[in-house]
């Protein structure tokens, strides 16, 4: 029992010291953070497999979210520590971050900037490890936590930004989630809309369809709703902008979206029977999304057609675009080159 109490006390002391370090790290210079971030980018690119690189970037996204949310500095440090402790791939992450820290420590930066990272002066004992200094910390859990705390939200974002269009990241969903982080400064939409789009995010997937347009039309009408949305959004994968979907219902009625540097382009997909036109209320809803949530513009895509009232309503706004069933079928022969 005494051994258990001792271990528990040591954990509490370690986390308390981590919280103290978090506050000290906030005084680090921006130049030092930039240098360490650059070292992290280089180290991640040196990881041998694409799956491991993507895993590290996903972990960075999780850690960035921890640093962003409320709570005391000690609680954030504790959460970061637990994130590392619970990962089965801890070794890959630790090795990569250790490489980055060593590169930072041996760089040609002035000594004053190197010691701006407080762990250099404080030593590693505060993390329950032997030795002192960054290099001596080796590949333990403590070093990645220290690096993350020092980098902060802005530093982690700069690391992630470097991989948004990097060919070493091959998983479309990872690219989409990276884009949410990297494009944050350029986006102008409201946070509530962005949170709804990010939740349970999916990526487009073009469905295999026959060549005949009449057969394509019947296939679209009989398609699973989510499969239809993913298929429609595959036509929006142009100009190199990230495209995603959310399968869950949300208050905005947005099925798909494109992350344009100037803002979010929202898309609503209506898989309607040919005799069931899209009416004015659907257009009004998308107008509300554009205006209230500050989206760049919105598309309403349907397998049927639009009522005259819907067309008149859309015409009053340059930010609402209508794609009827005939145009959608045309896209299967000649995909759009710009939206």
- Half-sphere exposure at residue 88, Cβ-oriented, CA atoms within 13 angstroms: 0
Short-list 289, 225, 291, 294, CA closest to 262: 294
Which domains are delineated in the chain? 2-182 (no CATH), 191-333 (3.40.1350.10)
| Strands of the 297-302 sheet, one edge to the other | 243-245, 256-260, 263-270, 297-302, 320-323
Separation of alpha carbons 236 and 264, rounded Å: 12
The stretch 218-239 carries a mean pLDDT of 94
What is the structure's pLDDT at 139? 40
With left for phi above 0 and alpha for psi between -120 and 50, is residue 239 left, alpha or beta? left
pLDDT at 89 over 60: no
Residue with structure tokens 């869950």? Answer: 248
Please give the Cα distance from 244 to 161 (Å, whole number).
18
**244-288 confidence digits (pLDDT tens):** 998 776 768 899 999 988 889 999 999 999 999 999 999 999 999
What are the pLDDT digits (tens) for 9-33?
655 655 555 555 445 444 446 777 7
Interval 118-142 mean pLDDT: 40
Residue 4, CA distances (Å) to 7, 8, 20, 162, 240 in order: 5, 6, 24, 44, 55
What value does the mean pLDDT of the chain take? 79
Residues 6+ apart with CB under 8 A from 26: 152
Residue 101: predicted pLDDT: 72
Q: What is the pLDDT of residue 178?
A: 84
pLDDT of res. 304:
98
- Give me the count of residues in the chain: 339
Encode pLDDT of 173-212 as tens digits: 888 888 887 776 567 788 888 888 888 889 999 999 999 9
What local confidence, expressed as pLDDT, does residue 287 receive? 96
**Which range among 115-119, 155-159, 213-217, 278-282 shows the weakest confidence by mean pLDDT?**
115-119
Regarding pTM above 0.75, the answer is: no
60-69, 158-167, 271-280: least confidently modelled range: 158-167
Please report the pLDDT score of residue 238 as a whole number: 86
Long-range CB contact pairs, 65-68, < 8 A, 24+: 67/148, 67/149, 67/152, 67/153, 67/156, 68/153
Rounded CA-CA distance 234/236 in Å is: 5
């Amino acid at each position: 029992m005494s051994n258990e109490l001792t271990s528990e006390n040591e954990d509490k002391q370690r986390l308390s010291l981590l919280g103290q370090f978090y506050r000290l790290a906030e005084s680090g210079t921006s130049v030092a953070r930039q240098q360490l971030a650059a070292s992290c980018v280089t180290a991640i690119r040196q990881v041998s497999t694409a799956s491991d690189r993507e895993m590290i970037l996903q972990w960075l996204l999780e850690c960035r979210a921890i640093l962003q949310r409320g709570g005391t500095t000690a609680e954030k440090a504790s959460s970061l520590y637990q994130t590392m402790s619970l990962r089965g791939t801890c070794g890959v992450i630790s090795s990569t971050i250790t490489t980055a820290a060593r590169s930072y420590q041996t760089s040609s930066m002035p000594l004053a900037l190197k010691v701006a990272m407080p762990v250099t002066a404080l030593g590693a004992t505060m993390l329950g490890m032997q030795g002192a200094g960054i290099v001596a910390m080796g590949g333990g859990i403590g070093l990645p936590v220290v690096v993350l705390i020092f980098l902060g939200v802005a530093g982690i974002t700069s690391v992630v930004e470097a991989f948004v269009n990097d060919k070493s990241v091959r998983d479309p969903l990872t690219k989409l989630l990276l884009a949410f982080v990297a494009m944050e400064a350029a986006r102008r939409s409201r946070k509530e809309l962005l949170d709804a789009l990010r939740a349970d995010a999916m990526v487009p997937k073009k469905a295999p369809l026959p060549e005949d347009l009449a057969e394509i039309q019947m296939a679209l009408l009989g398609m699973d709703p989510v499969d239809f949305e993913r298929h429609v959004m595959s036509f929006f994968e142009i100009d190199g902008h990230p495209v995603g979907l959310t399968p869950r219902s949300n208050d905005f009625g947005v099925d798909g979206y494109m992350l344009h540097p100037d803002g979010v382009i929202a898309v609503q997909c209506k898989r309607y029977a040919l005799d069931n036109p899209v009416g004015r209320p659907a257009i009004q809803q998308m107008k509300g999304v554009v205006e209230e949530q500050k989206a760049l513009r919105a598309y309403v895509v349907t397998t049927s057609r639009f009522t005259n009232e819907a067309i008149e309503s859309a015409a009053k706004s340059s930010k609402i675009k209508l794609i009827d069933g005939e145009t959608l079928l045309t896209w299967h022969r000649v995909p759009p080159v710009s939206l």
